[in-house]
Amino acid sequence: MKSYLPILSSISRIIEKIIHWLKNNKKFALVFLMILTLWVSIVAFGSKRYADESYHYRQIRMFYSARFEMADGLTTIPGYHAFISLPAWVIFDDLSLFKIRLLSLSTALFIIPIFFFLSKKISPPNPWEKTLILILLPIAFVYYPLIYTDIFSTLLFFLAFYLSLNQKYHWAALVSIAAICARQQNIIWHLFIWIFTYVNLYGFNFSFKNILNYFRATLGFIVGIILFFIFIKLNGGIAIGDKGSHPLGIYLGNIYFFLFLAGLLFWPILLKRIFTTKKILKNKFAWVALGVATVVSGILFFYPPELHGYNHDPRFIRNIFLSFIYNGHIGFYSVLVFLGILSLFSIKLNKLSNYLIYPFTILCLLPSWLIEQRYTVIPFLLILLFRKEEYYRLENILKIYYLILCITLVFVLVELRLFL
């Protein structure tokens, strides 16, 4: 009995700390309980398989059964699938959709402490408030419990970002390469971490000495870039399967959709700026925002991009919306994009270097013809992470608004059987 006393004492101290934390963070604990309930409802009551879950489910089952080959139609490097299949092989005697979703959700939950420590480093006054709004990002919310690569690859990206900001460059590079092995698109965010960390250290001073020292310290990132180009050469492209449906090119569809989503997510901040900025029409910055918004939305109105074939599938909410837009309502879409640009201009970021997220977002979205809100998850999470917090009432309005959107999406997913 005596041998168990230290263990019991340690468990008791941990429980006391948890209770103390819950007393001091009641709002976070209550909202997170609601969030967890929503995620579990997707795991338990969701449809048999949503869209690409079929491919990911099949690949995980193949690895679980020691069949180390690629499933037909899978476009990504199977890093996520290998990671999930290992604990599945250890824990379960047989696999089911429910069990894999449960494992996927359990893995995804590790993103929460990463969000917290990043928020603590970047926005120290209210890290739990920042963490909560990151979790509530509606376009990412429903993917946490599903068999999708997005949250797992996002988790790895933010872990690599945190390690790099703490100058753990070799570990950061390794984790970032792992993120690319979950989603090839993360090569752009691999570059972002590398360049952002340089600017964070040296500012925009690109002297030969600084660059040479930084290259030596961050050799792992350079190795990751070289390995990615070797992969493209050997694979004959970025996508592994279904190459014909994912041709490389320059496409504006996802840029416009990102701007539309920015308006949808940040309109409360835009309204606040409009009503609180004194002499707004004499503000030069406001005129720059209006000019950019007019030009971009005008190009969309006169030259709308062609839709990908998969964007005509009526089982997806985004495709229903795009079908409505492309059936005589492109002017309405242009107005929404216009408001989205103004919403982005209304957001204040903490530092000048944080504005690097915008060119990297463009680089990330331009090569993809298929319009997918999943491609915008990392950009929006970075904007939420980097932005200056508004006054507390507006922050609470944003959280309540995002929570309502999340509940609505879960209802549409579980009851109406539509997907994002």
Structural contact between residues 38 and 407, judged by C-beta atoms closer than 8 angstroms: yes
Distance, CA of 134 to CA of 265 (rounded, Å): 12
Looking at the predicted structure, is the pLDDT value of residue 1 above 50?
no
Long-range contacts of 193-197 (CB under 8 A, 24+ apart): 193/157, 193/160, 193/161, 193/164, 193/221, 194/164, 194/218, 194/221, 195/356, 196/161, 196/164, 196/353, 196/356, 197/164, 197/165, 197/169, 197/172
- Domain parsing of the chain, residue ranges: 150-247, 253-414
- Centroid of chain to Cα 64: 27
Task: Name the least confident of 18-32, 114-128, 129-143, 165-179.
Answer: 18-32
Mean pLDDT is highest, among 15-19, 389-393, 409-413, for 409-413
pLDDT tens digits for 34-89? 999 999 888 888 767 888 899 999 999 999 999 999 988 899 999 999 999 999 99
Q: Which residue has the higher pLDDT, 289 or 280?
A: 289
Burial 2-38 (b: 16+ CB within 10 A, else e): eeeeeeeeeeeeeeeeeeeeeeeeeebeebbeebeeb
Mean pLDDT along residues 173-181: 97
pLDDT for the residue 28: 79
pLDDT for the residue 346: 93
pLDDT tens digits for 238-250? 889 888 888 889 9
Looking at the predicted structure, is the pLDDT value of residue 4 above 60?
no
Mean pLDDT along residues 25-32: 79
Q: Which residue has the higher pLDDT, 356 or 415?
A: 356
Looking at the predicted structure, is the pLDDT value of residue 380 above 70?
yes
Band of pLDDT at residue 325, cut at 50, 70 and 90: very high
Structural contact between residues 95 and 85, judged by C-beta atoms closer than 8 angstroms: no
Mean pLDDT along residues 383-402: 92
Distance, CA of 420 to CA of 409 (rounded, Å): 8
223: amino acid identity, one letter: V
Looking at the predicted structure, is the pLDDT value of residue 20 above 70?
no
Looking at the predicted structure, is the pLDDT value of residue 3 above 80?
no
pLDDT for the residue 2: 47
Distance, CA of 255 to CA of 85 (rounded, Å): 35
Looking at the predicted structure, is the pLDDT value of residue 25 above 80?
no
Band of pLDDT at residue 114, cut at 50, 70 and 90: very high
